């Protein structure tokens, strides 16, 4: 029973149907009927005019955004545990042409305004030190915490004060929205976010992610950078169709709610073992090596997360019965 | 009736079936069952041990290869009309970190050994001029010409003499093989090619291309660069499955033969109008603006190609009836 | 007797004195008394407020300017024989992060407005092709031709029409000004040039060049890029002092006039052998291998320039007697 | 009385004489008589065949070395307070094409083998995390500590065990050698260092630093990268002559001894106020804002170094009387 990654889940049947329907002759690259509907679909979702680009990975979405927001000779503030710092093989350095990531700390991989200001204050304002130009946060965070609209607003205000551009890595944006109930607008453009990596692959997509630009002025540069990075697929309609299928009838939200609900079931069973509050679809538990082995012997598949901790990830398709069995097994530990 | 691009064609039904079959829980990224079969499948096809990587675009395949073959401070020789020079938005400069493309001429976008040697001879061998490190050819070329094994061998010999690494852009490799009847081995590693971008998207694939390394020593670097460029998809099995489906029973070859046959039908009708011999699935014709308009008025969709020329591209799925109608219309011009 | 390069000449005695005078304790980097006078000195010379930066090479001046004018994903138009294309080891690609040079032709390495427009017209205006963002010309050109103010104005107008930023490589700017009698303002900012690499090393300096920004908005970026490229010297006063010494009493102009006069003496002796009009301090002559050998046997040192041509370069310190002897020897050939 | 930076000191009279002597016609770039003697001079000093390159800044020396030692997709381990991390405006990212710096801690900016191993151990050995390729240490460190030969040997052994290339930033290498009495060979190539930035500008030079390659295989790449970064000066003889003058009769060592002696005088006066042992020419003292103000009111010029600390830097030309007065003033605080 799989609890090791939402990346390992299958695509949703509606997504597969959409791909099949798009599998016919149409214009190559992004001139097709589906791609041309993306801007409108996301503009409606966010209640504002936005530009939307399909890409195939969260790394591409994040790094295209960062390259447009930060020149090579500036730095990007992010959490020490941020995916862009830890798990993208240095892609931000590649896409930006050598910009630095400047790291801040905070529990649960969450960035607080004070930590941002303190990091800025530590930089001597001269030509010898790299000055910061952008802030990137992950929502939900790498430890499954969701930002409230008020928290994003405080960060947005801090970013403006320090003249920082503002990016959100939303690989699990759907789970964050499903968890907080915030409106997509309230945790993005209304509170200062200028570019959002909106994840679909972990939430029912096959291989499509969206990069949403709230600052339309970045669009032309992002278009060119996407091509230049080899991310302009010739049958782009197959990506656009996936995203449209997940937006249709808010399937993305339903999927995220299902994953979150499964995670909450596990969280309730875990009680004091929880390392962080469970606000999305990831559950981090204290568990000894022996306890982890006991769970695995019952057929549950998951990752260790440092010494004495394990990570359980639920998905849009998490099987209720398996979740129940795992919850029971945890409770029994 | 579509003759404007093989990129616009649908994916082959077998490919769609393979994607559906791979749409189940499995390891993320490239640790899955399908991805792990790629090396073996291509090693068998090429009769030698190779390493194979899925990517989603030809640009990514080309530029990952070039970055591994050429450091930022050297140059890559290619034809003035090569896709990497003309149609990849400067991606080689991005992936390599600023290496130059050094251009050679030749009819039909074909590179001849003499042109390579002449280009090398023009470079002063000092630190002020950029020295060449790699050669990249396209097979079939951008004008639909296929290299014979003897031609590739002569280029391979030239490359060795000038200490050039050797890359082949095979966006239409299948069409070239189908046309010449050469063995895949004879036009690649046996004659000096060290990396091949093996195209599948134009030939029945949905969004999977393969980068084949005959020099296994490049594999680790390419693996890291692929991730760093945002090209390591989390559900990579969906790409590997497409490629395996096209390799299975030599479907890739059957598809290419079908496209080539359709192109030959058009070529025969075109007679003296042909700008280049038709050795793959592209047909370049002399046609006045008026003649082009007449064809379009009969429902044929294609691109102008400079003044007084048009380009017709056939695909694995080209409809025999439409091809016949177009051939007749051309003959009647 | 040296006629092979003005780079090989010594520094002017006034420059050596200025260095000695600046060799005392002062603020490091560019906070010193001399560096802080540069902006003012050049603003006076150009009759407009400018920002001036010392660097140690023309390559650094050119490429810092180009990096500020052109993003990685655009291209820079220049002549096929431009120093930035031919003799800077790919530095533009390095500093810009992979921008392309797009080449135009024209006699004597001179760029004409029509050639610029034709090059722009050849670019398809889509995301697959690299769009141009900047124009760079060399004044005096690599073949010793000087642009008139009217010529620069026509190029400036062309640049504006195509939304191109405009850079001038003035490694021999002094020789061009001395030759045409144009005012420095008239061949730069008044006619659209936004950044000028103003050469001093070939004209009496020891190791200081100046980068002049007419677009003050580029200054902050250039400051940071200079440091980031390792070009912020800790004893920058030693560079600023050289430049100030050459500006003082228009020594730069006197030096250039001396070099130009020597070149004219050679040109008059050369008559029909001249390949280009002599408008600066370089003389390109038709001369057979035998004739070149005869000149060398008389003690004259110079470079061959392709088959059947030689290049003679005069300097601020060219010895009148040696010039006379060479002129006589040429006349006698 | 200047104690704020050794960068602010004048060049040594012997250096000025050498520049004057080299100020005559000779081959441009690095083909001259002085440049061609560098390899031999340093090979003698290090007792091994080395390649030596002049550059004008420590940043250039460091970053050319790092670019040759580490590809864009790997990381370089260094101390959190290393100059390359803190004071080079992100130059390592620019020169390497985006390699990361991976930071280790340790008192006095010194890197210990255990810290290196621990940093390596923290990296997951997969394609998602950036793997380390090089180690860079500063000798003397940014806080004025010198490495013994045994300490370098232990680091060299650690580097080999983890397959790390090994670079030493020797901006104050002379001071370190003068302090420890180690042989230059023993703290470099004999203990594993492959490239050394050997500083001269802080120690009597005008604007010349040396990059020493103990791994001769890096030489061709460094030559090209130097040119490509705009660091191949056309009158390179003026740099080579400075370095040769400082090597002559071990003037570099005498200069460093003088600076170190002055620092020791200050250190003795400082007693318990010392933050670090004084092993080179930098003295870090605890001093309240009020105490710092008192010293300044007596004419001493220096930097604050965080809250409650000041930094005093001595130079080759530190005036004995001024040093004595400062020592007395410190003792009196």
pLDDT tens digits, residue range B178-229?
A: 999 999 999 999 999 999 999 999 999 999 999 999 999 999 999 999 999 9
Alpha helices, H only, chain C: 13-22, 35-46, 58-69, 83-86, 91-96, 113-122, 149-161, 173-180, 219-228, 237-247, 251-270, 289-297, 320-332
- CA geometry: angle at C240 spanning C238 and C246, to 5°? 105
| Whole-number pLDDT of residue C21 | 95
Question: Could you tell me how many residues make up chain D?
Answer: 333
Interface of C with D in 66-95 (CB under 8 A): 88-91, 94-95
| Whole-number pLDDT of residue A306 | 83
Is the pLDDT at D1 greater than 80? The verdict is: no
| Whole-number pLDDT of residue A244 | 98
Residue A59 and residue A62: Cα distance in Å, rounded?
5
Residue D232 and residue D64: Cα distance in Å, rounded?
12
CA C138 to chain centre: 6
Q: In the sheet that B51-55 helps form, which strands lie side by side, from edge to edge? A: B51-55, B209-213, B195-198, B165-170, B132-138, B75-79, B100-104
Q: Is the pLDDT higher at A27 or at B231?
A: B231
| Whole-number pLDDT of residue A24 | 87
Q: Is C60 on the interface with D (CB under 8 A)?
A: yes
Chain B nearest CA to D71, separation (Å): 9
Q: D14 pLDDT band (50/70/90 cuts)?
A: very high
Of chain C, the end-to-end C-alpha distance in Å amounts to 18
- Our CA dihedral for C63, C65, C67, C69, rounded to 10 degrees, sits at -140
Q: C306 pLDDT band (50/70/90 cuts)?
A: confident
- CA geometry: angle at A64 spanning C222 and B202, to 5°? 125
- Our CA dihedral for B220, B222, B223, B225, rounded to 10 degrees, sits at 120
Q: B306 pLDDT band (50/70/90 cuts)?
A: confident
pLDDT in tens, A121-174: 999 999 999 999 999 999 999 999 999 999 999 999 999 999 999 999 999 999
Chain A nearest CA to C85, separation (Å): 21
What's the mean pLDDT in C126-155? Answer: 98
What's the mean pLDDT in A308-313? Answer: 96
Written in H, E and C, the secondary structure of A4-28 is CCHHHCCCCHHHHHHHHHHCCCCCC
Q: C1 pLDDT band (50/70/90 cuts)?
A: confident
Q: Is D37 on the interface with A (CB under 8 A)?
A: no
The rounded percent of chain B whose pLDDT value lies above 90 is 94
Helices (H) and strands (E) in chain A, counts: 13, 10
| Whole-number pLDDT of residue B25 | 81
Is the pLDDT at D73 greater than 80? The verdict is: yes
Q: Which residues contact C213 (CB under 8 A, 6 or more apart)?
A: C50, C51, C52, C53, C65, C194, C195, C219, C222
The average confidence (pLDDT) of chain A is: 97
Helix or strand (DSSP H, E) at A159: helix A149-161
Nearest beta carbon to residue C90 from set B86, B88, B98: B98
Tokens of residue A186, six digits:
């309230």
Number of neighbouring beta carbons within 10 Å of residue C10: 21
Nearest beta carbon to residue B127 from set C89, C96, C129: C89
Q: A276 pLDDT band (50/70/90 cuts)?
A: very high
Question: Could you tell me how many residues make up chain C?
Answer: 333
Residue B146 and residue B155: Cα distance in Å, rounded?
14
Q: Is C7 on the interface with D (CB under 8 A)?
A: yes
Q: Is D24 on the interface with A (CB under 8 A)?
A: no
Buried b (16+ CB within 10 A) or exposed e, A238-270: bbbbbbbbbbeeebbbbbbbbbbebbbbbbebb
Residue D287 and residue D289: Cα distance in Å, rounded?
7
Strand partners, D102: D77
Interface of A with B in 203-222 (CB under 8 A): 206-207
Tokens of residue B25, six digits:
């829980």
Give the neighbours of chain D: at least 3 Cβ pairs within 8 Å.
A, B, C
Which residues on chain B are in Cβ contact (under 8 Å) with D226? Answer: 127
Chain C nearest CA to D121, separation (Å): 31
Is the pLDDT at B1 greater than 80? The verdict is: no
Is the pLDDT at D255 greater than 80? The verdict is: yes
Helix or strand (DSSP H, E) at A132: strand A132-138
| Whole-number pLDDT of residue D67 | 98
- Our CA dihedral for C16, C21, C24, C25, rounded to 10 degrees, sits at -120
- CA geometry: angle at A85 spanning A84 and A87, to 5°? 70
pLDDT in tens, A239-274: 999 999 999 999 999 999 999 999 999 999 999 999
pLDDT in tens, A89-108: 999 999 999 999 999 999 99
As a whole number of Å, the CA-based R_g of chain B is 20
Chain B nearest CA to C85, separation (Å): 9
| Whole-number pLDDT of residue B2 | 87
What's the mean pLDDT in B63-70? Answer: 98
| Whole-number pLDDT of residue A41 | 98
Q: Which residues contact A248 (CB under 8 A, 6 or more apart)?
A: A14
Decide if A251 contacts A14 (C-beta within 8 A). Answer: yes
Is the pLDDT at B307 greater than 90? The verdict is: no
Q: Is C123 on the interface with B (CB under 8 A)?
A: no
As a whole number of Å, the CA-based R_g of chain A is 20
| Whole-number pLDDT of residue B48 | 98
Place of tokens 């135009």: C104
Is the pLDDT at D159 greater than 80? The verdict is: yes
Minimal Cα distance from C21: which residue of D?
D10
- Our CA dihedral for D179, D185, D188, D192, rounded to 10 degrees, sits at -140
Decide if B187 contacts B172 (C-beta within 8 A). Answer: no
The rounded percent of chain C whose pLDDT value lies above 70 is 100
What's the mean pLDDT in A210-229? Answer: 98
Which residues on chain A are in Cβ contact (under 8 Å) with B235? Answer: 7, 11, 201, 206-207
Q: Is A128 on the interface with D (CB under 8 A)?
A: yes
Could you say which DSSP state residue B76 is in? E
Written in H, E and C, the secondary structure of C104-120 is ECCHHHCCCHHHHHHHH
Chain C nearest CA to D206, separation (Å): 7
Residue B16 and residue B26: Cα distance in Å, rounded?
18
Instruction: Pick left, alpha or beta for residue B328 (phi over 0 → left; psi -120 to 50 → alpha; otherwise beta).
Output: alpha
């Amino acid at each position: 029973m799989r609890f090791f990654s939402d990346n390992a889940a299958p695509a949703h049947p509606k997504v597969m149907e959409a791909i099949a329907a798009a599998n016919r002759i149409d214009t190559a690259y992004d001139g097709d009927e589906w791609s041309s509907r993306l801007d409108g679909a996301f503009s409606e979702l966010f209640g504002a005019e936005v530009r939307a680009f399909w890409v195939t990975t969260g790394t591409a979405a994040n790094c295209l955004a960062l390259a447009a927001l930060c020149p090579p000779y500036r730095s990007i503030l992010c959490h020490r545990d941020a995916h862009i710092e830890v798990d993208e093989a240095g892609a931000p350095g590649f896409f930006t042409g050598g910009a630095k990531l400047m790291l801040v700390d905070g529990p649960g991989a969450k960035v607080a305004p004070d930590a941002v200001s303190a990091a800025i204050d530590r930089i001597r304002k001269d030509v010898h030190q790299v000055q910061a130009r952008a802030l990137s946060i992950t929502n939900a965070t790498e430890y499954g915490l969701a930002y409230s609209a008020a928290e994003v607003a405080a960060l947005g205000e801090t970013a403006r004060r320090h003249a920082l551009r503002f990016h959100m890595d939303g690989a699990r944006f759907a789970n964050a929205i499903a968890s907080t109930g915030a409106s997509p607008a309230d945790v993005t453009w209304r509170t200062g976010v200028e570019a959002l990596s909106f994840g679909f692959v972990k939430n029912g997509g096959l291989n499509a992610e969206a990069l949403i630009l709230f600052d339309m002025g970045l669009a032309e540069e992002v278009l060119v950078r996407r091509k230049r990075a080899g991310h302009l697929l010739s049958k782009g309609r197959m990506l656009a169709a996936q995203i449209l299928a997940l937006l249709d009838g808010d399937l993305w939200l339903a999927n995220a709610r299902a994953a979150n609900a499964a995670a909450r079931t596990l969280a309730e069973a875990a009680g004091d073992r929880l390392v962080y509050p469970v606000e999305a679809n990831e559950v981090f538990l204290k568990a000894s090596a022996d306890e982890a082995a006991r769970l695995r012997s019952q057929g549950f598949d998951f990752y260790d997360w440092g010494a004495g901790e394990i990570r359980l990830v639920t998905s849009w398709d998490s099987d209720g019965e398996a979740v129940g069995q795992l919850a029971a097994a945890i409770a029994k530990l």
